[in-house]
Amino acid sequence: MNFKTLLTTCLFLSACFSLRAQDDHEADSLRHQFGRMSVGSARSTATPYADTLDTANSAIKVVLYSNGTYRYVKDPKAIQDDKVFTEHWDTRSVNPYHDEKPLPDRFSLWIVDTLDSYCCPNKTRVFSKFGYRHGRRHQGVDLPYPTGTPVYAAFDGKVRVSDYVGGYGNLIIIRHANGLETFYGHLSRRDKEPGDWVNAGDVIGLGGSTGRSSGPHLHFETRYQGYAFDPTWLIDFETGTLRHRLLTFRSWYFNPNSRYVQSVDDEDEIYRTDEEERLLAEEQAKKEAAARAAAEAKAVRYYTVRSGDTLGKIAQKNHTTVRALCRLNGIKETTVLRIGRRLRVR
């Protein structure tokens, strides 16, 4: 092969790889666009089915309904053999991931694909959000739910826990094929047992007020490998829609203080470089540090020294100690106080 032929071949291969890269980029873009689509809520059909047909893929069946319609579905028998339903599987423990490993800083998870269904637990306004509440970590959202109202599974999956569990009261935990788990707490009745397969929209129990509850409501949690995150990253409860088929998680989503915020519809997110990701992480860290500093600044209190005040009296009035006052103000217990001086007491 002469030099000219070799050069021509190299240019041809380079063009082929360029086209392949462009095709891959377009495919990723289309996949990303599909993943960013929202999904409406739907409950299980009450139409009886007439028959089930096999397909070329043993894990996928065609369900024929008596009204002449049909639907492609995943075969639960094939899905349940997957390791997601065997590893870290405990029918008694709320969190079976005792050897928790840090999650990646950024990863994507398909929530539903074209063969999956979704059902909103309750189309309503969230009245108690994810995050700290009265000094206690609240790892889900609370939705108004009258006692006796049917509770529906949000996604297809297998029941891992069905039990009375402390503050949760009657609790059902469902694990889904993508590793996600959904929690349904304070039920008045549990209709499913561990090992039962459920489809999105199936009734799994009735709403109630069992456990640590101030009134009838549904406590709904979402966790991934034991890590809880705000369910409103997934679901817009006011409209009942699933926000995206494909959700890109960031490590800070699993922070106890991290609530859902309207994300940018960034088509380029999937193509971000590690350096861009690092800069975004730094920006998020700065925002969190600023929020902590603002909270601390808000908590700072001062006291103006009056006639007759001593460090002991000032400490008593402000529910603190003389030692703490000295540390906050850089003074000693023997320091003479001047009337009008401002002392930091918090």
- Band (113; pLDDT cuts 50, 70, 90): confident
Dump pLDDT digits (tens) for 166-225: 999 999 999 999 999 999 999 999 999 999 999 999 999 999 999 998 899 999 999 999
Give me the number of domains the chain comprises. Answer: 3
Query: 168 and 231: one domain?
Result: yes
Whether pLDDT at 266 is above 50: no
Could you say which of 31, 61, 79 is where a domain stops? 79
Could you say which of 263, 286, 315 is where a domain stops? 263
- Secondary structure in 3-state letters for 66-122: CCCCEEEEECHHHHCCCHHHCCCCCCCCCCCCCCCCCCCCEEEEECCCCCCCECCCC
79: exposed, middle or buried (C-beta count within 10 Å: 0-12, 13-18, 19+)?
middle
Average confidence score pLDDT of the chain: 80
325: domain CATH number?
3.10.350.10
Residue 108 in any domain: the answer is yes
Whether pLDDT at 282 is above 80: no
Residue 73 in any domain: the answer is yes
pLDDT value of residue 247: 86
Query: 247 and 318: one domain?
Result: no
Query: 88 and 69: one domain?
Result: no
Q: What's the rounded Cα separation, in Å, for the pair 82 and 86?
A: 7
Q: Determine phi and psi for 220, rounding to 5 degrees.
A: -120, 125
Residue 292 in any domain: the answer is no
Question: What mean pLDDT comes out for the span 328-338?
Answer: 91
Could you say which of 32, 61, 79 is where a domain stops? 79
Instruction: Please give the residue range of the domain that contains residue 308.
Output: 302-344
What 3-state class would DSSP assign to 168?
A: helix
DSSP character at residue 194: T
Selection from 5-19, 34-48, 183-197 with the highest mean pLDDT: 183-197
Query: 113 and 193: one domain?
Result: yes
Dump pLDDT digits (tens) for 290-299: 777 776 677 7
Q: What's the rounded Cα separation, in Å, for the pair 139 and 202?
A: 24
Query: 58 and 192: one domain?
Result: no
Residue 15 in any domain: the answer is no
Query: 54 and 89: one domain?
Result: no
Residue 177 in any domain: the answer is yes
Q: What's the rounded Cα separation, in Å, for the pair 246 and 243?
A: 9
pLDDT value of residue 60: 83
DSSP character at residue 221: E
Residue 29 in any domain: the answer is no
- The answer to whether the CB of 95 falls within 8 A of the CB of 160 is no
Query: 232 and 123: one domain?
Result: yes
Whether pLDDT at 289 is above 90: no
